C-alpha cells in the first residue's frame, strides 16, 4: 500500500509551502471526517468541555499494511492545474470517490500564492495538490504512472 500525493509544479511553491501543502494532502483522509464531526465526542470535566475524543475507523489493510507497516508515500508532480485534475478523472474512472478516497487541497492564499478561484463568500484559493487515502499499490500505480516523481 502507498499514499499518493500529486502537487502542482507550475505554482513554483517555496519548499516550505510545498511541504505544508503535501502535509495537508497526506492528512486529509484522517482530518476531513474529524472536521465534519464524525466519530468525535466532547470530553467533559466539572461540566466544562476540556477536550475531544476522535475515533478513526480504518479498514484492515490500511491499518495492517500501511499504518503498522511501511507508511509509504509517493509524491508526484503535475505540470499544471489541468494535469492535476487529470488525476481526479483517473481516480473517478477507477471508482474512487472525492472526499472519501481522495481530496483536492486548496491553499487560502494568505502568503505566497495568488487566488485562482473564489468560493461563494468571495474567499480566494488555489488548487495545489490532490491527496489519496492509502491505496493498494496496483491502484496507486494506475494513477501515478501518468506523472513524474516530484
pLDDT in tens, 83-107: 999 999 999 999 999 999 999 999 9
Asked whether the beta carbons of 24 and 4 are under 8 A apart, the reply is: no
- Residue predicted with more confidence, 33 or 43: 43
Distance CA 123, CA 145 (A): 34
Model confidence at 57: pLDDT above 90: no
- Domains contained in the chain, CATH given: 3-149 (3.40.1490.10)
pLDDT tens column, 101-124:
999 999 999 999 999 999 999 999
Q: What is the pTM of this model?
A: 0.92
Asked whether the beta carbons of 78 and 84 are under 8 A apart, the reply is: yes
pLDDT at 70: 87
pLDDT at 49: 95
Distance CA 2, CA 26 (A): 11
Determine which of 43-47, 67-71, 137-141 has the lowest per-residue pLDDT on average. Answer: 67-71
- Report the percent of the chain where pLDDT is more than 70: 100
pLDDT at 141: 97
Model confidence at 19: pLDDT above 90: yes
Model confidence at 56: pLDDT above 90: no
pLDDT at 16: 97
**Per-residue DSSP letters for 51-81?**
EEEE-----HHIIIIIIIII--EEEEEESSH
User: Per-residue confidence at 38, pLDDT binned at 50, 70, 90?
Assistant: confident
Distance CA 45, CA 93 (A): 48
- What are the start-end ranges of the H helices in 71-135? 81-93
Vertex 104 angle, CA 98 and 109, to 5°: 155
* Cα distances (angstroms) measured from residue 103 to each of 43, 47, 112, 116, 132: 29, 37, 22, 18, 6
pLDDT at 88: 98
Distance CA 102, CA 84 (A): 12
The predicted model gives 40-45 an average pLDDT of: 94
Amino acid at each position: 500500500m502507498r499514499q499518493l500525493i500529486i502537487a502542482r509544479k507550475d505554482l513554483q511553491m517555496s519548499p516550505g509551502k510545498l511541504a505544508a501543502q503535501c502535509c495537508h494532502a497526506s492528512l486529509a483522509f484522517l482530518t476531513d471526517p474529524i472536521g465534519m464531526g464524525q466519530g468525535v465526542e466532547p470530553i467533559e470535566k466539572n461540566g466544562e468541555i476540556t477536550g475531544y475524543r476522535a475515533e478513526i475507523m480504518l479498514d484492515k489493510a490500511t491499518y495492517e499494511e500501511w499504518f503498522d507497516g511501511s507508511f509509504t508515500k509517493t509524491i508526484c508532480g503535475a505540470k499544471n492545474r489541468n494535469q492535476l485534475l487529470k488525476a481526479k478523472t483517473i481516480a473517478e474512472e477507477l471508482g474512487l470517490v472525492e472526499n472519501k478516497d481522495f481530496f483536492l487541497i486548496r491553499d487560502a492564499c494568505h502568503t505566497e500564492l495568488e487566488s485562482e478561484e473564489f468560493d461563494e463568500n468571495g474567499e480566494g484559493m488555489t488548487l495545489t495538490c490532490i491527496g489519496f487515502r492509502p491505496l493498494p499499490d496496483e491502484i496507486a500505480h494506475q494513477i501515478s504512472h501518468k506523472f513524474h516523481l516530484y
